[in-house]
Structures are given as structure tokens and as C-alpha cells.
Structure 1
Amino acid sequence: MLDDIRVDDAVFELRPDFAVLIMTAHGLRNGPTDDRSRAWLAEAATQEVQTTKIDAWKDAYRAFGAKPQRTRPSVDALTRRMPLPEINQVVDAYNTISVKHALPIGGEDLDRYEGPARLVRATGDEASEEALGTPEPGEVIWRDDVGVTCRRWNWRQVVRTRLTEETTNAIFLLERLEPMSLEELKQAGEELTDLLSELSPQVRIASSLLTGGK
């Protein structure tokens, strides 16, 4: 599956510094928030907010016509929620890494995908869940063969692919803009791997980095 995931050239034309580290995790054991994942969130909440990284995402939103004060980049919205929300162990893990590195991360149930994920600029007629509304032409969206999986780059994900306590196979999208370095992006991926492996010692993780339209 990793080989089929793509980012359209139009997205790289909008932000040539964009890169995404894609991780798949097979054999997860998820469950409700526990003392371990709660401690991860509490530690992440003590980190100083890295505003320059978040500002880069606000600029990216403005570039395709979104208003980041109204529909905030995911990491901006997350860092404004203190204490950090408790969802489930796997979501707590990637939210921990997201806040620590000021890095938007999406996590979704791989078994609920229809076809590969791809990041595109919307035509405006993509199928989307009612609560999210229809994407606007030119908006950056993640989608699969069915329709939208995440609107406005990383603003909000659909319910269809949401990670639940029953999820066993997942995909994680770690999205980078400058000033974050590619080295820090890879480090964040390694840290997420460590947390997922702590939750599920038998998990099988694979990754792929997409950058520069490749």
C-alpha cells in the first residue's frame, strides 16, 4: 500500500517544502486511555508551544483560501486544548508526538480505506460526510476511492476511517513544513514507533517518506 500513496504535484507547487512521513502499523492492540498513555499526554502538555512551526501551517491554509482562525490546522487546535484530550491509547500516542514536535499527525483505520490515500487539491465535487461539508475547489484534502478522508489538509478527519479501540491496522500521516527539518520528522516517526511498540510489542510498522513530488 505504501507504494500507492501519493501527493499530487499541485500540492507541492503550493508548498514545495511539504513532506509527509507515512507509517502503517499492522497488529495493533488498542484500548481506552490508561495511566501510561495519560502520562504521555501530561508530559507533552508541558512542552513550550512552537509557534513558528504552527505559523507555517497557518500560512499554508491561507495559500488555498482557508481561514486558519476559523478552521485551525490540527496541531494548532490540539495545542490549545489543555489538558490534552484522552481518546484511546493509540490516538493518545500520536497526539503526544504531535504536540511534542508541533507536527500535524493523522491516524486512521487502514481497514476502512477504499483504495490508497492521496493528497490532492479538490475539484469541489468529492463525496464527504455531512458534518464536514463539501470541500471547496482548490482546497487541499486527503481522500481515497470513496471520497474525502480529511478536509483542509489536516483540519478534520471523517468518522468513517476513525481510529477506534477495535482498530488493529492503522495508517499515520506525519506532515511537515519548514522550519521543521526532515531529520526531526524522521525522529518524530521513530518516537511514534517506540510508543506504538510499547502498546503492541508485536506490531509491524513500515514507513515511506514523500517529498518534492516523489
Structure 2
Amino acid sequence: MRIKTHSTLLLLAASITLAGCQSTPKNTIIDKKVYVPPKVLIEPLADTDNDGVPDIIDNCPNTPEDVVTDEYGCPVAVSLIGNFMMELRVFFERNSNKLQTKYLIEVEKVAEKMHSDPELVAVLSGHISEPEAAQIAVDMDGKMNQVEADKRQLGRERAQIIKSALVKRNIARDKIYTFDCADNMPIASNDTEEGMSMNQRIYGKALKADDFYTGSDHEQSLTYYKEFCQQF
């Protein structure tokens, strides 16, 4: 009986040892380095003219301050400021007073705005670039009195084109004020083609008549325009 018990214990010990040898070893990896992606610092895209459109997609990279732009950084033709004023910008080819058809719908918007509020008046200022003014001066052979008279002519014609378009849309003539500003109020440098193009323009506004007459905002007032421009 004692021998049988001893044999049983030996058999049990051998079974345990064999089971231990057949167990699955742990999958231990020594010195494994965890991959950490490198941090990439993304710098803000450059926006030279601070119009909110990055230079990489800005088609008009030298837009002046306070000019409303589209998604490509170029001035928009019409912008509504609050409930009381609408701005209009129309640009012209060099030495041209021809109104491009793409601006007609913008003129229509101004007319609609004025029809919606009988207290609004339209203010139109015609502008030319320095090269346009210089060309006129060369043509006149330095006769300054005649140059000054003719320098205003192109800006005057541009303003008159927009006035006529508004009148055709049933805006009363006595609610439209026109100014010829020549090259006295540039909004961009005349050193680049783009800057010159921006200066060859009509700037228009539909605003409350009282604001325009009394000059509650000097830069929107009749007095302000008379400082730089000739009313006609």
C-alpha cells in the first residue's frame, strides 16, 4: 500500500512537470519603441493685404483697407452696410468709360434698395488713375488750365454712365448726386497694373439723405466730397 502511494505521487509530479513544459510562453517584446508621429507646426498662411484671403489664392493681393472683397480677394461690386447704406463699386478699363455688362446687375441692386426706402439718395463719384491723368496732360502739351479741365472729363463720364443707368430704372434725377474726383482720391498705389485698375472706378452709395446733407459721418458727406471733387 505504501509503494503504490509513492508511485502515484511520482506519476503526479511528472504530469505537472510535463504540463508546465507545454504551456504557451508569454509574448514579451524587449525594447520595443513606440512610434510617435512627429509634430508638424502649421504656420498661418500669409495675407499681405489683411483682407482675410491668403495670398496663395488672392487674385487681388494689394486690396486697400476697408474694401469688401470676395472669396478670391477682389473688391465686390455691391456691399450692404447695415440697413441704411449700400455701396457700389464699378471698375473700368484704361481710358474707357464703357460700363461692362457684369456690373448691370449690381446697379439694379442699388436701384431696388432705393425703391425700398424713399429717404435714400445715390451718391456717385467718378475716379481716374494717375496714368490716365498723365496721358491727358501729355496730350494737352502742358497747358495746365486746359489739362485741369480735361482731367475731370473721364471721371465725369464714368459717373454719368451710372447715373443714366439708375434713371432708366426709375430713380429720380434729383436723388442722384454726381462728383468728378479725377485722380484726387486713389484707393490703391498707381505703381502696379492692379492698383491702377482699382483707381479707374465709380464709387457709389445709397444712403439716407439727412446723413449726406448734414455730414453726420464726414467721409460720407457732401462737404467731404466737395473737398476733393467737383460736383456736376
- Quickly name the TM-score band, shorter chain normalised: under 0.3
Give the TM-score of the pair, scaled to structure 1. Answer: 0.27
Considering only CA atoms, is the larger Rg found in Structure 1 or Structure 2? 2
Higher strand share: 1
Considering fraction of residues, name the structure with more helix.
2
